[in-house]
Amino acid sequence: MRLGASRPFKYLLALGVFTAFLIAWNLVVGVGRYPEFILPRPGTVWGRLLVLATDGTLWRHADVTAQEALGGFLIGLAFATAVGYPLAKSPLLERVFAPYLVASQSIPLVALAPLLVLWFGFGLTSKVLAAAIISFFPLLVNVIVGVRGVAPESRDLMRSFAASRWDVFAKLEVPAALPVYLGGARVGITLSVIGAVVGEFVGADAGLGYLIAQSRGLFDTVTLFVALVTLMAMALLFYGAVAWLERLLLSNRRKESLA
């Protein structure tokens, strides 16, 4: 009963915070008498969003950014898993490669994005790579932490039963590392949206980042806000999808452990 009562309360609280934010936004615009090109009202932004959604402009740009972000996230996830697992298992490999991986994080993506566009063109590839690069390191860290979080006693116990390396990996390491792994995926999926947008800022002919850059150049602040709101909604949708997958996988794992 207590869990059932708390969930509607959380939704109502979130709705209340959002409503208070909109009211405060309206008050700021009204009291400050800001012109539309400085700070538009929420109602104006909503009206423009409906117009752009109806004529298909918003969906076209959102679809491009979503493809870039999801593609980059999946590539980053695959590479982080392939690199992170050997590093977690071998302290020697970590000592050799970790300094280079850490040093690579000092390069701002805004500085790297022009090179990606120069090397791979203005198409989808450069933005997908930008999304993959920005999501790679957090995913890598979580893979390493998750694999190393497996208790040595559990490994020893499985080996005492003559378990193969594959059995240790599939039946011990993967289930034990899964919560940390999926936690990193929640962070990585939102970062991939940022990476795609940064790539679009540098060079693109479609995407929400392109729409933001175009609106900024035309002083069309209303459309710029529409693009920002759409980006936030996209990031929340992706985050919620990964969180739902996390709950599904972990609940199934708990059921299997109790069976």
The predicted structure's pLDDT at residue 54: 94
Q: Where are the domains of the chain?
A: 1-33, 40-258
Which helix (H) or strand (E) segment holds residue 65: the answer is helix 57-89
The pLDDT, as a whole number, for residue 255 is 58
- Residues of the chain scoring pLDDT < 50: 1-3, 258
What pLDDT shows up at residue 91?
86
Give Cα 118 to chain centroid, integer Å: 25
Neighbour count for residue 113 (Cβ, 10 Å): 23
- CATH superfamily entry for domain 40-258: MetI-like (1.10.3720.10)
What integer pLDDT is reported at residue 136 of this predicted model? 93
CA distance 88 to 83: 9
pLDDT at 164: 75
Tokens 């800022």 correspond to 201
- What integer pLDDT is reported at residue 1 of this predicted model? 42
Pair of tokens at residue 213: 């850059």
pLDDT attached to residue 257: 54
| pTM check: above 0.75 | yes
pLDDT of residue 98: 86
Which are the contacts of 150, defined by CB distance < 8 A and separation ≥ 6?
Answer: 172, 173, 176, 177
- For residue 256, the model assigns a pLDDT of 55
pLDDT at 63: 96
